[in-house]
Amino acid sequence: MKFELTRRDWLAGSSAVASGLMFSGAANAQEMSDFTAFGEPVTPDNPIRMTNNENPYGINPKAMTAIIESYKRAHTYNFGARREMIQVIAKMENLPEECIAVGAGSGEYLVATGALCGITGGNIVAPFPTFGGILRSARNFGAEIITVPVKEDMTIDMDGMRNAVNDQTTCIYFCNPNNPIPSIIDKNDLEAFCLEFSKKAMIVIDEAYYEYVRDDNFSTMAHLVKDNPNIVILRTASKIHAFANVRVGFAFAHPETMEKLMMFRSGTASYPSLMGAIASYQDPEYQKFVVDKNYESLEIMYKMFEELGMRYVKAHANFVYAHAGRPATEVRDKLRENGVLIGRAYEPFPEWIRISTAKPEETEYLVKIYKREFG
């Protein structure tokens, strides 16, 4: 019963303040009768956010309460919270505490791993396209970047990755599920790759969208770090936990590797953000709610793609990747005019669009506009 109340709170956002609000801004704002995740009318200045793979339901109310409460003690250097956070994750992941580091988002550890691998020169091998954080860092610290194009079916080319590794390779990066293409790597293939290639280079697997996957062919590789100093796994609270601007993320690595990574990390998660994350990670019900809604929104978009005869990649995360058949920039601009923000164009596919999931009712709005403009 308690959960039902909380759930209603999450759902309230899109309709509670609907009446009495005036439209403003764009010429065509009058025809928009829909509301964003914040319960405000959709306009170009106040768009539905389907651009940065965020969680449209926001922070779990239990986490929000924990964050607000934590401010009573936020004047202290409370290092105990970091330990408590690590204990929660250690239990969930069945990992020793010394294999876990917490920071201000996983971006911090993408920079640190990129630096660790790049500082010795050599090269980093990564699929193309993929998430750029570690690549920028490795390049800044002196590494060459070797990219391996995805296959025709838009999945990561594992044989291509094998062939691209050479004697100078210091790091191999996978984003699994990948981004901007929400594909996954077969778990047996990835594990075999890790066991073989970790003898040659550091393997970094970014599992930012891990919690969204519902496919038996996928598995985390977190279990490998206990015995293997050349494997690093990254996770974030930014996605399923909606902590994008609260900032909590994790690295899982062998203690030996952790010591090296610590030389390059920059920030730390604050006491309020840790207290929020401790509450959020221990509430699987909220996470299930978010994932269920995500798949509802995905289905709404798939239906549209099929009706419009658009090719798309089946998503294992909170975003879709679809062939618009026209420049992605044109689609993006037109949708923005109508109060919907979608992802930018990603090389090397200028006619493919990445759209993050929003609430199902917001996604219905996107469908209405997309069909009207491009159907």
Ligand X SMILES: Cc1ncc(COP(=O)(O)O)c(C=O)c1O
Contacts with ligand X, residue ranges (CB under 6 A): 53, 105-107, 131, 133, 175, 179, 206, 208, 236, 238, 244, 249
CB nearer to ligand X: give 122 or 249. 249
For residue 268, give both structure tokens. 């730390």
CB nearer to ligand X: give 41 or 180. 180
Q: Nearest distance from residue 110's CB to ligand X, in Å?
A: 6
Secondary structure class of 289 (helix, strand, coil) = helix
Q: Nearest distance from residue 225's CB to ligand X, in Å?
A: 18
CB nearer to ligand X: give 148 or 367. 148
In one-letter notation, the amino acid at residue 341 is L
CB nearer to ligand X: give 221 or 304. 221
From 285, 244, 237, select the one nearest 7 (Cα to Cα): 285
CB nearer to ligand X: give 124 or 208. 208
Helix, strand, coil % (nearest 5) of the chain?
40, 15, 40
Q: Nearest distance from residue 177's CB to ligand X, in Å?
A: 8
Q: Nearest distance from residue 175's CB to ligand X, in Å?
A: 5
CB nearer to ligand X: give 243 or 370. 243
What's the CA gap between 66 and 264, in Å, rounded? Answer: 30
For residue 57, give both structure tokens. 């339901």
CB nearer to ligand X: give 37 or 205. 205
Secondary structure class of 370 (helix, strand, coil) = helix
* Tally of residues, the chain: 375
Q: Nearest distance from residue 322's CB to ligand X, in Å?
A: 18
Q: Nearest distance from residue 235's CB to ligand X, in Å?
A: 8
Residues ≥6 apart with Cβ < 8 Å to 242:
54, 55, 57, 58, 59, 60, 290
Q: Nearest distance from residue 176's CB to ligand X, in Å?
A: 9
Q: Where are the strands (E) in the chain, listed by range? A: 48-50, 100-103, 123-128, 144-149, 169-175, 202-206, 231-236, 249-252, 312-313, 319-323, 340-342, 352-356
